[in-house]
Structure 1
Amino acid sequence: MKRNKEFANRLHALSPRFAYIPKEDRFLMDPGPLKYRFNVIGAGVNGQEHIAVTMLEGRCTVHGVYDPNPSSVEAARRVKARFSDEPLVVYESLEAACLDPQVDALIICTPNHTHLEVLKVAVQSGKHILLEKPMATNIPDAYEIWQIAQNYPKVLQIGLQYRYKPIYVEAIHEAKVRRSLGEIKTITILEHREPFLDKVGQWNKFSKYSGGTLVEKCCHYFDLFNLFAESRPVSVYAVGSQAVNFKDFEYRGERSDILDNAFVIVEYENGVRANFNLCMFAPMVYEEIVICGDEGRLKASEGVNGQAYSRWANYLEVIALPDRTSRTMTPSYPAIIEETGHSGATYHEHLRFIEAMDGQPSSAATAEEGFWSVVVGVAAETSVRRGGRVMIGELLAENGLGHLA
């Protein structure tokens, strides 16, 4: 309750209606002393989102950024200036940003293929770290990051924040806390959306830099699969293609090779089966999850209609056996949170990060969970290339990790 009241007061403090109130006259609207200072490594669209939610949440601040692209740095300055008059520190090197003694934690938002090398510098600081998803583009790098995290004395959280989207928060509660569905048997997730956006260097158009679409984008959904299944994946079968997007796109002499559609089936040790449906040339952004158990069925969805510029209300329904209650709901966060991006999931990911830094238990994704989301994604990409079912044990052995099978 205390945290809810504090948040409501911070929202009032940010309102232009109350901008006239001097700092010395703020009581309910005073966020109090800062708890932590963050540096953001990589100030592209994701880095800017992390800056915005940090400043909105109010207990922490973004001290500085490191990014070799001047336009990204200027964009980061503008984001912070919306919330604070304190200037943003801009570092000339990765080492300087990581090792600044004034900073308590680092948020790494660099291109996927750089994560391991950036992390190796970041851990020398001994600071808390939030590493964006996917934690790596391949299985050996992901495993190395997992091993670094096991021996790291501070928080090392992976940015698989979709588990904090409103529809998935409620789905997790219904399926795993209330157990409204009984024993989960099947999971289906669908994402239909517009193509990948532009990036500095266009790295997300090439599998060797992004890990491929089923790693870069879909690790979120494979994390949810693993979370609901509560088991290890045994096999993955996937089909997909580059049917529409970037077929004629070239950058620095290379042609784009990323998938823009796929169907993925994952089988788990405990018998749970999951399937994923991806289309990245749809004129909308729409997600849906359907979970079937032996005592009920859950369906949840969210979306924005790009043609009509309208938002579809979040929706969740639970249809249970006759001796249990069924219900429908529209899960949501306050609009000011949802509008920060990813339906407010990044904001709540930050709450978990702060709680973990405070020594409290956290439900945020660990490096181990991040590893297994990458494994499923790599298996799916491998299945598409080879044209057949991929056994996880064999894939791990191919990557020198047969002991994990």
Structure 2
Amino acid sequence: MINYGIIGAGMMGQEHIRNIHLLGDARVEAIFEPDPVMANGAKGLAPEAAMVGSIDEILERNALDCLLIASPNHVHVDQMEQIAARRPLPMLVEKPLFTTSEQAERVAKLSRDYPAPIWVAMEYRYMPPIAMMVDRAEEATGGIKMLTVREHRFPFLDKVGAWNRFNATSGGTLVEKCCHFFDLMRLILRAEPVRVMASAAGDVNHAAEEYQGNRPDIWDNGYVIVDFDNGARAMLELCMFAEGSRYQEHLSAVGPSGKIEALVPGPTRFWPEGLGPAPVPQLVLSPRNPKGEQILDVPVDPTLLEAGDHNGSTFYQHQRFLNVLQGQGKVEVTLEDGARAVAMGLAAQESARTGQAVLL
């Protein structure tokens, strides 16, 4: 039995708790969540867990085998360093790893010196249709030349203290939201970015909001184009006022042999009951010769859909992390992976601000 300590049990932390319970070989030993409303919700999900008042207190729990960090973005690095100095347990750390370029070297030091496994929670890799696309992309395309990632979705949800409404605490939309997609670009293309160009703005969602006298400065839509060192190029199209879409994510990769696409619906809980069953994820293959589209449904276990908003991927990620803890696997999303995704997001933020391409 693997005992988890949870640091941050807000909306995403509670999704992790629900999925940990589905593993069978894991339990929640202790939770640190300073917000009383979120702490109460987490306690309801994990009544077996001790509710503690600090990271130091959670590290005193002798039974702990690993830690999950799901706190606000801007405190991740401070918390990882605190854990490293006191009791360096294996960790699963939510994305983004950090929010400013100044924190990058601190993460690099952790990557060099931390004695236990650290896994960065890039859940989108493990969405079933995307995982299937990754496996089949090279064969289906004959070598990807163009990759497009489109996310048309709902606005940012309300988080404790509105931390996700401000660049200073979230890293900005193209870091907070889009590091997932920059990670997927690197994974799918098997290449590294060399140039980033972006255009983005906050046009619709947050103009009327105000928090303690401050207006949000995050963006709700944008385009990002990335050139890679193998000659491929990728584009991200983000719109966060498009929750009426049937599919939330649409990935498309094209090469000389054909095209492959992954279609992922949004969270099941947001699908209106009057529209019938929620959409089923799909993989679409479109070869050039012989022509003929092939559509494959990629259904996800309803139990996993009910446990979170990420198409079952949080559970599959925890399965693999659990394998690492049990000595049966290796870390698939490293600190370097997490840092490179953030670097791409920060470059995109800078490009959109200045109107200039940013070289990496």
Q: Same fold (TM over 0.5)?
A: yes
Q: Determine if contact 2:119/2:331 at 8 Å carries over to the other structure.
A: no
* In structure 2, distance between residues paired with 1:264 and 1:209: 22
Runs of 4+ with deviation above 6 angstroms: 323-326
Compute the displacement of 1:320 (Å). 2.1
Q: 2:145 — aligned with what?
A: 185
> In angstroms, what is the RMSD of aligned CA positions?
1.8
Q: How many residue pairs were aligned?
A: 351
2:80 to 106, 112, 119: 119
* In structure 1, distance between residues paired with 2:21 and 2:182: 30
Please report the TM-score for the alignment, with normalisation by the length of structure 2. 0.93
1:303 to 265, 282, 292: 265
After superposition, the Cα gap between the structure-2 partners of 1:239 and 1:352, relative to the gap in structure 1 and judged at 3 Å, is same
* In structure 1, distance between residues paired with 2:241 and 2:255: 32
Q: 2:283 — aligned with what?
A: 316
2:8 to 19, 31, 42: 42
Secondary structure of the structure 1 residue equivalent to 2:198: strand
Q: Determine if contact 2:183/2:341 at 8 Å carries over to the other structure.
A: yes
Q: Which moved more, 1:318-327 or 1:56-65?
A: 318-327
Compute the displacement of 1:156 (Å). 0.3
Which digits, 9 at most, give the CA deviation of each residue in 1:67-111, with x for residues without a partner?
Answer: 111111110111125xxxxx3201121111134221010000010
Secondary structure of the structure 1 residue equivalent to 2:261: strand
* In structure 2, distance between residues paired with 1:272 and 1:98: 45
Q: 2:31 — aligned with what?
A: 65
Q: Determine if contact 1:161/1:364 at 8 Å carries over to the other structure.
A: no
Q: 1:391 — aligned with what?
A: 359
Q: 1:372 — aligned with what?
A: 340
Please report the TM-score for the alignment, with normalisation by the length of structure 1. 0.83
Compute the displacement of 1:121 (Å). 1.4
1:52 to 15, 18, 40: 18
Looking at both structures, which has the greater relative contact order when contacts are Cα pairs under 8 Å and sequence separation is at least 6?
Answer: 2
* In structure 2, distance between residues paired with 1:147 and 1:184: 34
Q: 1:78 — aligned with what?
A: 44
Q: Does 1:135 align with 2:101?
A: no
Q: Does 1:162 align with 2:124?
A: yes
Secondary structure of the structure 1 residue equivalent to 2:249: strand
Structure 2: any 5+ residue segments left out of the alignment? none
* In structure 2, distance between residues paired with 1:90 and 1:325: 56
Secondary structure of the structure 2 residue equivalent to 1:313: coil
* In structure 2, distance between residues paired with 1:311 and 1:323: 32
Q: 1:12 — aligned with what?
A: none
Q: 1:396 — aligned with what?
A: none
2:213 to 253, 256, 281: 253
Q: Structure 1 vs Structure 2: percent identity of aligned residues?
A: 34
Q: Determine if contact 1:284/1:303 at 8 Å carries over to the other structure.
A: no
Q: Which moved more, 1:221-230 or 1:352-361?
A: 352-361
* In structure 1, distance between residues paired with 2:64 and 2:322: 14
* In structure 1, distance between residues paired with 2:124 and 2:173: 16
Give 1 or 2 for the bigger CA radius of gyration. 1
Secondary structure of the structure 2 residue equivalent to 1:382: helix
* In structure 2, distance between residues paired with 1:185 and 1:99: 51
Compute the displacement of 1:144 (Å). 1.9
Compute the displacement of 1:326 (Å). 6.4
Q: Does 1:330 align with 2:290?
A: no
Q: 1:8 — aligned with what?
A: none
* In structure 2, distance between residues paired with 1:180 and 1:150: 37
The residue identity in structure 1 corresponding to 2:350 is: T
Compute the displacement of 1:321 (Å). 4.1
